[in-house]
Amino acid sequence: MEILETQAKQPIRALALQGLGRIRDPHIKQALAACDTEEDLQVLRDVANEVKGKGEVSGDLTRWAAAWAIENIGFSQDAIPHLEGGALTEPPYRIRNEIIGRKLQEIGRIQILDSRNEVTPEYEINLEFWLYGPTEELFRANFNLPQYQTLVGNVIYFLNVRGIELAIDKDRSFLQIDDERKRRWLQEQALRIAGSKFAEFTEFEQKRAYKTIEDKDFLSNDYNQDIPLRNLAAQAIKQAGSWLDPSIRSRSFVICEEWEKAVAIGEPALAHLQEVIERKLKLTTSENELRQHQIKALETILAIFDKNYTEISASNHQIVDCLLLTEFLSNNYNNNISWRKSAAQAIKQAGSWLYPSIRARSFVICEQWQQVAAIGEPAVSHLEEVIERNLRLAASEDEIINQQIKAVETINQIQFAELSEKIKKLVKVLLLCPEEQVRKATARLLEPHKGVVPNIANLVDALLFEYTLEKPELKDLTVPQMDERLSSCREKESVIATTFANAIAEANSLARTYSKSTSAAQEFLQNKQEAYLSDIRGWITQLEKQIAETSRYQKKIKYYQESLKDALSEIRGIDSELYKELMAVPKQTALNSTEYQTYNQCQNLSPDLEYIKSQFVPKINQGQAKLNKKSKERFEAGLWGMGIGVAIILFMTLVIDYL
């Protein structure tokens, strides 16, 4: 009450009145409310006069504060309206609400700045009312006016930590706002202002503001659905003084994507970076950006290890090793090969602390085969994953096969402690890999070792066995040429059958080493053998058939030639004129030609013989009567040759008809 009697400033008077309403001693408060003494009754009169605006410096702020104080002290309901008491014609709550309503309505009417760009007195008075009066009522108001939003921001700003606490309303008991959008908007304003002022706060103020933010769990993964709000909280907290726990500061840096600052903090940042990698802490909702953040978190972890490896605990070593293999380099990312390769590009550059196996896997993913071979045996299991297609480095089938071959060649380049172990790895590929190109490449690598490991010799030979069966046009070959090819084919048939039978037996034996009843190589060899034998046996059948056909054709041509020549010889002795006429027929070189060694030559010669036949037949028919007469005369004269001539003429007619 002394302040009310001595201070004219409304904010101070309003705070004094609110302090009166917050008397903590229940006995004092109860006695004051009872108004049993004149002194207590005078307090009610003085406060009521402030409510009525009868004070020398009364205003809306002090009137509201006085009405609020009367309500909170709990004065007797009889004393408040009594003329000897408060003499209030309206209940305090009604007066208080009327003032609040009127001040809210002013927000949309009053100007913030005047023509000189200075804050207007009306705005200052309205702002002062909310700063020292019913702040919660301002925050609860449901306005979308720009003036309202500006006013709320100014109230939070000038109230400093108190404004931040009120707007965040961590336990919802103060503002009691049900509209979630309104609650979020207030929190956003509070966090923005906290970010702009946090560095200026005293340590006490920082701790107080931090507690409000921490209690609301703004930095937690619960805010993955409201990432912007969490970012605002982190922007504020990262400015805290040296009192702040390094883990919290590093989390703030991670949330703000200030990766280099996270590296500077070191090990305390690892857990938060791990959460980014595991997508427990999300810094965005975009899938592409999420993957970029995972890579940045990975690079930051690697930088921390490179910088502080000896100081980092063993448990964190294990966590990071696990992360590298399960979250970045695993086969789970066969559908996102480019992203995994980006991770591998970062991992492979890590310092000497990185396990050789992890570095080797990174080199494999980056297809840096020479570096993989240099690491040695720790790389073998990762190369086997490429060969078995468990670790895919490409989507294209051709590229995958090329990478499988590269992996096999790299295994061959590695200096194993025991050569037998290298051979065993390559033989495994030989037996179990289903891709023919990969098996062939492996067989070529094993070929120099056939003498050292004799139980693979037949298998390697069969896999590398290549036989191209030449198939010329058989009708252009002579019978001796076809006989030679037939002999060669039968010999090759025997070689193929023996080679592949031995190889299949070796494959069966080796398959048992890997607890397999059959192997891909065995199936391939069987198919390859069947294909070769089917082809060569089919060709043998064709050769045999063509040899028979060509031989028959040759016999016909030869018999044809001899018959025609014999007929000419006999006619010459019977009828010289007919003989001359027949000898004048063209193409008679065909009668003595030897160009019928192949089937096609037989076919080429046959038309000429057909032509001779076509010319001989009508001429012989025309001279038939004369031949018969001479034949009879000679027969009667006992000349048997003439009888032979007639027989030949008759035979020739039959031959010509046959041919």
Closest CA to 186 of 138, 122, 253: 138
Question: What's the pTM?
Answer: 0.69
The stretch 405-431 carries a mean pLDDT of 92
* Lowest-pLDDT choice from 210-224, 470-484, 515-529, 630-644: 630-644
Q: What is the pLDDT of residue 228?
A: 96
Phi-psi region of 117 (alpha: psi -120 to 50; beta: other; left: phi over 0): left
**What pLDDT digit, counting tens, does each position of 566-605 carry?**
888 888 888 888 888 889 899 989 999 999 999 999 999 9
> Does residue 530 or residue 574 have the better pLDDT?
530
The answer to whether the CB of 253 falls within 8 A of the CB of 268 is: no
> Does residue 543 or residue 172 have the better pLDDT?
543
> Does residue 144 or residue 204 have the better pLDDT?
204
Average pLDDT over all residues of the chain: 87
The answer to whether the CB of 483 falls within 8 A of the CB of 463 is: no
- Give the three-class secondary structure for 598: strand
The residues, ordered by sequence, that sit 6+ positions from 544 with a Cβ below 8 Å of its Cβ are: 486
Q: Does 390 score more than 90 pLDDT? A: yes
Closest CA to 198 of 227, 157, 169: 157
> Does residue 210 or residue 43 have the better pLDDT?
210
Q: Does 635 score more than 60 pLDDT? A: no
> Does residue 99 or residue 27 have the better pLDDT?
99
Q: Which two tokens stand for residue 413?
A: 């380049």
The answer to whether the CB of 332 falls within 8 A of the CB of 343 is: no
> Does residue 7 or residue 111 have the better pLDDT?
111
Q: Does 285 score more than 50 pLDDT? A: yes
The C-alpha atoms of residue 291 and residue 286 are separated, in whole angstroms, by: 9
Q: What is the pLDDT of residue 639?
A: 45
Domain boundaries along the sequence of the chain: 2-97, 474-550, 552-658
* Lowest-pLDDT choice from 182-186, 330-334, 360-364: 330-334
Side chain identity at 388, as an amino acid letter?
Answer: E
pLDDT confidence band for 506 (50 / 70 / 90):
confident
**What pLDDT digit, counting tens, does each position of 516-528 carry?**
656 778 888 899 8
Q: What is the pLDDT of residue 645?
A: 47
Closest CA to 107 of 159, 153, 53, 64: 153
Scored b (16 or more CB within 10 A) or e, 348-364 reads bebeeebeebbbbbbbb
Q: What is the pLDDT of residue 625?
A: 67
The C-alpha atoms of residue 411 and residue 27 are separated, in whole angstroms, by: 90
The stretch 179-187 carries a mean pLDDT of 91
For residue 113, the 8-state DSSP code is B
The stretch 361-366 carries a mean pLDDT of 95
pLDDT confidence band for 353 (50 / 70 / 90):
confident
The stretch 225-241 carries a mean pLDDT of 96
For residue 119, the 8-state DSSP code is B
The stretch 452-478 carries a mean pLDDT of 87
The stretch 327-342 carries a mean pLDDT of 88
Angle at 351 between CA 346 and CA 352, to 5 degrees: 135
Q: Does 637 score more than 70 pLDDT? A: no
The C-alpha atoms of residue 608 and residue 475 are separated, in whole angstroms, by: 19
User: 76-81 long-range CB contacts below 8 Å, 24 or more apart?
Assistant: 76/33, 76/34, 76/35, 79/35, 79/41, 79/44, 80/44, 80/48
The C-alpha atoms of residue 107 and residue 155 are separated, in whole angstroms, by: 13
Complete DSSP assignment for 225-275: G-HHHHHHHHHHHTT--TTS-HHHHHHHHHHTT-HHHHHHH-GGGHHHHHH
The C-alpha atoms of residue 188 and residue 458 are separated, in whole angstroms, by: 77
> Does residue 305 or residue 39 have the better pLDDT?
305
Q: What is the pLDDT of residue 1?
A: 59
The C-alpha atoms of residue 385 and residue 422 are separated, in whole angstroms, by: 16
Share of the chain above pLDDT 90, in %: 55
> Does residue 107 or residue 323 have the better pLDDT?
107
Closest CA to 401 of 417, 382, 386: 386
Residue 174: enclosing H or E segment and its boundaries?
none
For residue 310, the 8-state DSSP code is G
The answer to whether the CB of 620 falls within 8 A of the CB of 652 is: yes
Q: What is the pLDDT of residue 644?
A: 44
The C-alpha atoms of residue 477 and residue 471 are separated, in whole angstroms, by: 11
The residues, ordered by sequence, that sit 6+ positions from 193 with a Cβ below 8 Å of its Cβ are: 153, 156, 157, 163, 164
Q: Does 403 score more than 80 pLDDT? A: yes
**What pLDDT digit, counting tens, does each position of 19-59 carry?**
888 888 888 888 887 787 888 788 788 888 888 887 677 88
> Does residue 7 or residue 50 have the better pLDDT?
50
- Is the Cα dihedral 150, 151, 152, 157 positive or negative? positive
Q: What is the pLDDT of residue 518?
A: 63
- Is the Cα dihedral 505, 510, 513, 516 positive or negative? negative
Q: What is the pLDDT of residue 654?
A: 45
Residue 511: enclosing H or E segment and its boundaries?
helix 479-511
Side chain identity at 238, as an amino acid letter?
Answer: K
**What pLDDT digit, counting tens, does each position of 430-440 carry?**
888 889 899 99
Q: Does 4 score more than 80 pLDDT? A: no
**What pLDDT digit, counting tens, does each position of 602-620 carry?**
999 999 998 998 888 888 8
Q: Does 300 score more than 80 pLDDT? A: yes
Q: Does 641 score more than 50 pLDDT? A: no
Q: What is the pLDDT of residue 634?
A: 60
